[in-house]
Amino acid sequence: MNTTARLTTAGLLITLTMPAYAWAEEVTADQVVGALEHTFGVTPGERRNHTKGMCATGEFVGDSAARAYSSSPLFTGKAVPVVARFSLSGGNPRVPDTAKSARGMALEFALPDGGKQHMTMLNTPMFGAAVPQTFYDMIVAMQPDPQTGKPNPDKIKAFKQSHPDNLGQAEFLSANNPPPSYANSAFYGIHTFKFISQQGKVTLVRWRFVPQDGEKTLSDEEMKTRPANFLEPALIERTGQGPVKWDMLVTLGETGDPQTDPTKAWPADRKEFKAGTLSITAAMPQKGAACEKINFDPLVMGKGIAATDDPILYFRSPAYAFSFAKRMGGI
């Protein structure tokens, strides 16, 4: 059975059809986008989440090790062009770059077979919601109190007490200051995906991108003194000196590892291999640049890579589509 959602925006009628999981009864993608709008306000024509961001371009070269597991044209060893967007989570376009929130790296690979592959990642190893309802409840709990203009601490506390699936990511963000540059951040795919080999063998994997510039975080002192906007100039300056590279590392799942819960880590001793190198060669403000009008829907995948039944992964697609349709309509 499928559920269908219809969205009318700026004269466009969009019909979204998705599998009916239990969570579909709880909260819908348009409700979540509505909650983001209510909490953060609307910046017309801009993303409803990860509103503050910048564009970049580069290429990805896959390693032959990945070909044993995936027939994706990403791993043929040829350079694959990439359009990237780096961002801060939340819908505030003026959020300071010192905010202790997640940073994003979204990649669109132009595959040699003419297809596209997306990877839309965060710099936290886990997500803060096992089901869409938790994400919705978090955004609602963050709504500014009309008296103070800030989130009500009692509502945040009540949210955390009633949603243990949020705590892993919340604790990670509290314990780790944000990076001084996107070039010094690792980014995690978080969900479990399937790699499918040429012979049809399915392997459960998780991936992350680890910066060759090294992982760094701001000191508590730097957190107090940094200006509101340093991430964009830092990446533009860094790419001016030469390519910024990340190793794509793939972890192989074993029987019993969580497949459908993006809040749960896998045991640390799982086998890993390097699947390729991402090189970002140019960075620029997003206005008019290539990433601005891309919907980095994580379910856009070429052959050789497929989704698991993670309810968060499936929910992202219609939520991004609602946000995308609105911003493309100038709303």
| Strand-pair category, 272-285 with 305-307 | unpaired
Work out the burial of residue 147: count CB atoms within 10 Å of its CB; fewer than 13 is exposed, 13-18 middle, 19 or more buried.
exposed
Minimum distance of ligand HEM from residue 313's CB (angstroms): 7
| Phi, psi dihedrals of residue 330, rounded to the nearest 5° | 75, 10
Q: Residue count at the site for ligand HEM (CB under 6 A)?
A: 30
Check binding of 67 to ligand HEM (CB under 6 A): no
Distance CA 298, CA 317 (A): 7
Distance CA 158, CA 153 (A): 9
Check binding of 7 to ligand HEM (CB under 6 A): no
Which of residues 48 and 238 has its CB atom nearest to ligand HEM in the complex?
Answer: 48
- CA-based nearest residue to 62, from 240, 274, 216, 223: 274
Distance CA 128, CA 264 (A): 10
Check binding of 32 to ligand HEM (CB under 6 A): yes
Which of residues 153 and 164 has its CB atom nearest to ligand HEM in the complex?
Answer: 164
Three-state secondary structure call for residue 137 = helix
Check binding of 314 to ligand HEM (CB under 6 A): no
Subset of 208-247 contacting ligand HEM (CB under 6 A): none
118 is catalytic: no
Query: Helix 311-328 and helix 132-141: axis angle, to 10°?
Result: 50
Residue 55 pairs with which residues in a beta bridge?
85, 284
Minimum distance of ligand HEM from residue 200's CB (angstroms): 27
Work out the burial of residue 225: count CB atoms within 10 Å of its CB; fewer than 13 is exposed, 13-18 middle, 19 or more buried.
exposed
Check binding of 296 to ligand HEM (CB under 6 A): yes
Check binding of 286 to ligand HEM (CB under 6 A): no
* Member of 179, 280, 312, 314 binding ligand HEM (CB under 6 A): 312
Region near ligand HEM per CB under 6 A, out of 18-26, 58-66, 118-126, 151-159: 118-126
Check binding of 186 to ligand HEM (CB under 6 A): no
Residues annotated as catalytic are: 50
Interacting residues toward ligand HEM by CB under 6 A:
32-33, 47-50, 53, 85, 87, 104, 106, 120-122, 127, 129, 132, 135, 190, 262, 295-296, 312, 315-316, 319-320, 323-324, 327
